[in-house]
Structure 1
Amino acid sequence: MYLVANNYVADEGHFAFVLVGKETIEFAPFKRSQKLDVLARHEISSSAEEMLPKGFAPHDCASGQSAGFVKIGLRARTYVVLGELP
């Protein structure tokens, strides 16, 4: 409801990280480009999985206490992977 109220609409050319706190919600939108893109959990191949740190579990939504981002280079692009560390 927060994103709709703030007129945020996702599309193929953009992605956003949504940060939900106890009393606040923030979102950080990004334009996809050759310099920065997001690699969703369902898009992670075995070659991309090998680049992730040991114990890092990719997720589409991660808990604040264990959330993390990993930057990897794959197919001549830079990607950010959202996930959790134990």
Structure 2
Amino acid sequence: MANELTEAEKRTVASILRPRSDGWERALAYGAYVLPSVLFAAYGVWNQDFAAVLVAYVTLLVVVLLYLGWVRDASARLRSALEKYEAMTGASRQR
């Protein structure tokens, strides 16, 4: 059937519907990626080692770009799943 969700769409929907963690858990999860770069940048500023600051900045930039790419892909999968849901139920036309 054309309206069945793909495995990627199912994973995206499940991820969005999963209960959200509190701010502390989220900070720890993202901190594992961000904190080393921030500490490296602080070291670079403290010792006036601007190469270290540049490496930390580039590392943070790569992390942000990877996250934005993941969000873009997840948004596309969610949109596809919602379009299939709409095609099956006509939910927006039932007003």
The TM-score with structure 2 as length reference comes to 0.20
Structure number with greater CO (CA < 8 Å, separation at least 6) is: 2
Q: Which one has a bigger Cα radius of gyration?
A: 2
The TM-score with structure 1 as length reference comes to 0.21
Instruction: Flag the structure with higher strand content.
Output: 1
